[in-house]
Structure 1
């Protein structure tokens, strides 16, 4: 995936849905205890559907100027890891590389649950499914699909029950009110509208 480093760094400075200190390790074998390399402590920051992580130095200070990396949370699967032998762990895999797991270790079970549920709710797939559910509920109550209303269809409102379409716009403009007066010539209509303003 291509992205602009400066824009991504600027985006990482925004307000986070959730942020905190987690231990992190990626594994290609699928088991956190069988992989080489150490577990690194990082500061994670969830902004929209982007999970940024930042380095923490030996003193414990967080370098928030430049993120060390970012996960785009689309086509991902996240779950609590109960059988890893490591307490308070959860993992994330991506559909394009299911053999590689990213492990995260928190300090308590509540923190794990909070991260897992917040990350699941931050994905585009989840937000789209919620939109479809709300769209169906509104359609069942009103008989009108809210996504087919103005401005997408230029004022045409579709009623699903009777198959009728209303051609009037669902809003009024000051221009439409002024042009309803009938005058003989176009020039007098324009002058009449200017005078009324």
Structure 2
């Protein structure tokens, strides 16, 4: 699912500023403060119901992604101007497990504990903020208490229904039929579910009391690093299959090409199909477009390490038989697909028109359409000079 669609699903809006409940002009400190306040609301440790744990974890991850975008001047500017979400590997796109999102949170704020959550609950319950949240949920779900239970913090059946009845009497919210005439069977079923999940949460809390998840985080990071290594190995295997060359020799040649003279290199934002944009360093060497994580900028690596500069790209595109599409609605955005896989679209986004035009000009020269035009021009030139069509004089032509 697209990130902004997830924002809509979990927070009821695709507007990142509305999620944090801040203005578009909010400064860095206001963004950080709003993120902390909101993260305490959705923090999974405050959820008692087992059925809500996964939902709370996902909401927490999405909220962290929102902070990643708005706390980065470059990404925030692109979002403000275009509504697009772009990030690099050092922000949320490198956070693949819940523990890694927690680690990001802890770099900004002191590690959360039971006391902090208790303090937050005491300040939140009975506050005007809680009342506002309840009113919004009540209107959003048209009085359906089953849905309100799923999203309301520190849900208590008697307290919540009492608050809603009071708000209805004060004409602050409408008297939805699903609330005022809720079937008794539906209410009893919900209460049984709450009791069951509360007991389950208590047992799980006792089980996990001494588990801080640090070992899981280490394993997740190791697994991610392994997958990055496999990305380049997969590239080698694909090219070996194409050209039937020796594995070790082919790997050496590709590494040499990737670290040799480039036609062009620089940063672009990249995604394929429905994934989110990621910042990458690209090097076009011959007809191979090598891709590096931005913290592995090969130019910097060459500078600092002299001759020992064999950097492994994360992956690469063999620029043969592909078609380029230019987005007329966004001048700095373009994409291409390979004729062998027309359903897979690779999208690119540059921060200025000069960079966009430079990349497009070079890629067009490598594209299938450009090569075909060039070969036809060459064919006509040879025929004009020699009087013979070079394609008609080949051994496989119909003529003798």
For normalisation by structure 2, the TM-score amounts to 0.31
1:1-197 correspondence to structure 2 within 5 Å:
1-3=238-240, 4-27=250-273, 35=274, 37-57=275-295, 62-63=297-298, 65-83=311-329, 88-123=332-367, 126-127=370-371, 129-143=373-387
Query: How far apart, in 2, do the equivalents of 1:87 and 1:124 lie?
Result: 22
Residue deviations 1:30-88, cap 9 Å, x none?
xxxxx3x532111111122211111112xxx51461111100112211122234xx661
- Structure 2 residue ranges without an equivalent (≥5): 1-237, 241-249, 302-310, 396-400
Q: Displacement of 1:22 after TM fit?
A: 0.5
For normalisation by structure 1, the TM-score amounts to 0.58
Query: How far apart, in 1, do the equivalents of 2:317 and 2:333 lie?
Result: 18
Residue deviations 1:86-144, cap 9 Å, x none?
66111111222222211111011232222122112024663454244123223314435
Deviates more, 1:92-101 or 1:44-53: 92-101
- Structure number with the higher strand fraction is 1
> Contact (CA 8 Å) 1:80, 1:112: kept in 2 or not?
no
> Contact (CA 8 Å) 2:324, 2:367: kept in 1 or not?
no
> Contact (CA 8 Å) 2:334, 2:348: kept in 1 or not?
yes
Q: For the structure 1 residues 146 and 21, does the alpha-carbon distance in structure 2 shift closer, same or farther, using more than 3 Å as the test?
A: same
The number of residues matched between the two structures is 138
> Contact (CA 8 Å) 2:323, 2:368: kept in 1 or not?
no
The 3-state SS of whatever aligns with 2:282 is strand
Q: Displacement of 1:23 after TM fit?
A: 0.8
Q: For the structure 1 residues 96 and 141, does the alpha-carbon distance in structure 2 shift closer, same or farther, using more than 3 Å as the test?
A: closer
Query: How far apart, in 1, do the equivalents of 2:331 and 2:381 lie?
Result: 41
CA RMSD of aligned residues (A): 2.9
Larger of the two Rg values belongs to structure: 2
Query: Whose RCO is larger (CA < 8 A, sep 6+)?
Result: 1
Q: For the structure 1 residues 96 and 142, does the alpha-carbon distance in structure 2 shift closer, same or farther, using more than 3 Å as the test?
A: closer
